[in-house]
Amino acid sequence: MTSNRKEIIDLEKQLEQLEALRDVLGDAITDQKKAELKAQLSQRRGETQSRADSRKVPRTAPARAAEQEEADNRRQEVYGPQTRISDSELQGPVLSGEFPGSVDLSTKNYYGTPPIDAEQAEAIYREKIAERCGSLPLQSVDTSSAGINAEPLSLAQIYIELDTRQGTSALQAAISNPRLVLLGDPGSGKSTFVNYLTHVLAKGAWSCLPAWPKEERDALPIRVIMREFARWVAAKKPLPKASPKLLWDFIIHDLKEWRLGDAENVLKEALEKSVEKEIGGK
């Protein structure tokens, strides 16, 4: 398959994924990104047609079969023996990654070798939370026809800056306010912003956050999904009293669910340093 044809397939797949995510991203972001992708798709199709018109060389059935056999052989060299599954047998999107034997790609839990020190534990934690927050929910998208090498659409590919009614961006508000409550209607982009911010902080992708204070670029993001916290608390009998320790216990529980329990001390130390820094600055 030519690189141009692969780009066309990828763009078509991204358009389908964007439409499926309309409720998550909102109409404005979805329509804007779809217009951009359609413009790219039109350009790639035009280039492909021009090349086809300039050299119409018929491909025989044996030639196509030979190309398919060559592709299958290359795939088997990389992934080992493959079992072909019909579309009706596939459940959910096709996932891909670069973590053989170390990650359950359906949940992004860690199954690798235990870290040997705190530095390695932090690196693993950052990698896993970046993956979780950087992926988009594609349960409603049928990607079975994309093939084994299909790459999921990432949040970084489609994110558009979220503005506030105060005339500043949500990112600038987060930089200026250590404690921030972001309010908005369902689908206005609050969760998407939090996921994007967590993703780039975990990755240290400062090209995406050029205004982030340099003295805070060692920040270690900890994401707490409040509905999951509330569900976890409600399941406890008797119902516990609200306290900071209760939230910390949930964070530890969440880490263990991800198989990232080795990062507990790393997060605890990061939180303690943050408190000390805040107290010292007063």
pLDDT digits (tens, 9 = 90+) for 14-26: 877 777 777 777 7
Q: Which of 25-34, 54-63, 125-134, 153-162 has the highest mean pLDDT?
A: 125-134
Which one of 222, 255, 271 terminates a domain?
Answer: 222
CB 45 within 8 A of CB 8: yes
pLDDT band at 232 (very low <50, low <70, confident <90, very high): very high
Please tell me whether residues 205 and 261 are part of one structural domain.
no
Q: At which of 178, 203, 222 does a domain end?
A: 222
Cβ burial, residue 15 (10 Å; 0-12/13-18/19+): middle
Are residue 193 and residue 124 in the same domain, yes or no? yes
Backbone angles phi, psi at 211, to 5 degrees: -90, 0
What would the two tokens of residue 264 be? 């507990």
| Cα four-point dihedral sign 130, 135, 136, 138 | negative
Return the residue matching tokens 């912003």. 193
Does 157 score more than 80 pLDDT?
Answer: no
Comparing CA positions, the residue from 210, 193, 209 lying closest to residue 201 is: 209
Task: Let me know if residue 241 belongs to a domain.
Answer: yes
Q: Do 236 and 200 share a domain, yes or no?
A: no
**Which residues, in sequence order, are bridge partners of residue 109?**
104
Residues 191 and 153 in one domain: yes
Instruction: Give the domain extent around 21.
Output: 1-53
For residues 247 and 266, give the distance between their C-alpha atoms in angstroms, rounded to a whole number.
16
Are 183 and 240 in a shared domain?
A: no
Establish if 64 belongs to a structural domain.
no
* Residue 10 confidence (pLDDT) above 80: no
Same structural domain, 132 and 201: yes
pLDDT mean over 36-62:
70
| Number of domains the chain is built from | 3
Lowest mean pLDDT among 53-57, 144-148, 154-158, 221-225: 144-148
Q: Is the pLDDT of residue 31 over 60?
A: yes
Asked if residue 37 is part of any domain, the answer here is yes
User: Are 218 and 126 in a shared domain?
Assistant: yes
pTM more than 0.85: no
DSSP three-state, residue 167: coil
Instruction: Say yes or no: 126 and 193 in one domain.
Output: yes
**Statement to judge: residues 193 and 250 lie in one domain:** no
HSE-CB at 259 with a 13 A cutoff on CA atoms is 13
Give domain status of residue 2, yes or no.
yes
DSSP string, 34-103: HHHHHHHHHHHHHHHHHHHHH---PPPHHHHHHHHHHHHHHHHHHH-S-----GGG--S-----S-TTTE
Residues 247, 152: one domain?
no
pLDDT of residue 46: 77
Same domain, 256 and 174: no
| In contact, 203 and 219? CB cutoff 8 Å | no
Domain boundary among 53, 70, 86: 53
Please check the confidence at residue 268 and state whether its pLDDT lies above 80.
yes
Average confidence (pLDDT) over 7-32: 78
- How many whole angstroms from its chain centre is CA 121? 20
